[in-house]
Structure 1
Amino acid sequence: MAQPQFEEVVEDFEFLDDWEDRYRMVIEMGKAMEPLPDALKVPATKVDGCASQVWLHPQIDGDHFHFQGDSDAVIVRGLIALLRRLYDGLALPEVLKVDAKAELGRLGLEENLSSQRSNGLRAMIERIRTLAAENA
């Protein structure tokens, strides 16, 4: 049920032989992402449970979910970019149906992220799900 843009990442990962190359790709995805304006880096958009500073700003367009995000850590910016490819543009009820653990598992993230990064990723996913549920 992944978005086409997430499927592209899955396909790209299949061509990369080792995790270091995949790690670099995630970082590059984060670097390519537009930064969140400082005015939106407020307590209401901050994600608790992350080792680094993380902000997610939802944008509801009719019944579709969009969000912007940012972090002070380059790998976390990349993880936000991955989550945008997974969730951005979905109808609000569809956001809740995404099995993020299974989808991200296709990339081998769990076994290659530190426990702190994995916890932060789960916190971001939970925030996305909460935001979608509140607006559905």
Structure 2
Amino acid sequence: MPELTVDRLIQNFEILGNWEERYRYVIDLGRKLPDLDEKYKVEDNRVKGCVSNVWLITLVNDDKTPTLEFKADSDAHIVRGLVTILLAIYSGRTAKEILAVDIKDIFQQLDLESHLSPSRSNGFFSMVERIKALAQAAA
């Protein structure tokens, strides 16, 4: 499977005809997400504001220009897919790039706002806030 990028995500969402197919795609993305090692599934790594359990960690790649790599997991299929989307958007970027991402624009391009329940939408943005906080701490 080719690397998942924002452009590829948007393109894939546009190709899929209806929201039932898009939900299946999101769930399929979640199935492909590697499991997070159990040692990271602790309260300190749990994302607050999500109805489902979501654990998120960050690794800093210490190159000349340090980038952040995010690893995450959830106990809910659709949420694992949403996590995969966020990892595609944010992983491998510098802290400055992460903080500059216009996630609301991407969210609209994927047309997620009108197709996620309010609790899932809140959870999605709780994950974004956690990613930004981790990026801010690494900056």
> 1:12-63: CA deviations, max 9, x gaps?
1111110111111011001001010110001111001001101001111122
> 1:48-98: CA deviations, max 9, x gaps?
100110100111112201110000000000000000110110111100000
Asked whether 1:52 is paired with 2:55, we answer no
- For residue 92 of structure 1, what is the aligned residue in structure 2? 95
Structure 1, unaligned runs of 5 or more: none
The amino acid across from 1:77 in the alignment is: R
Number of corresponding residues: 134
1:51 counterpart SS class: coil
Match runs of 1:53-68 below 5 Å = 53-62=53-62, 63-68=66-71
Structure 2, unaligned runs of 5 or more: none
The amino acid across from 1:91 in the alignment is: T
In structure 2, how many angstroms separate the alpha carbons of the residues matched to 1:68 and 1:11? 24
In structure 2, how many angstroms separate the alpha carbons of the residues matched to 1:65 and 1:103? 20
TM-align CA RMSD: 1.2
1:101 counterpart SS class: helix
The amino acid across from 1:9 in the alignment is: L
The amino acid across from 2:110 in the alignment is: L
Asked whether 1:19 is paired with 2:19, we answer yes
The amino acid across from 2:5 in the alignment is: Q
Deviation at 1:101, TM superposition (A): 1.2
Q: After the TM superposition, which parts of structure 1 deviate over 4 Å for at least 4 consecutive aligned residues?
A: none
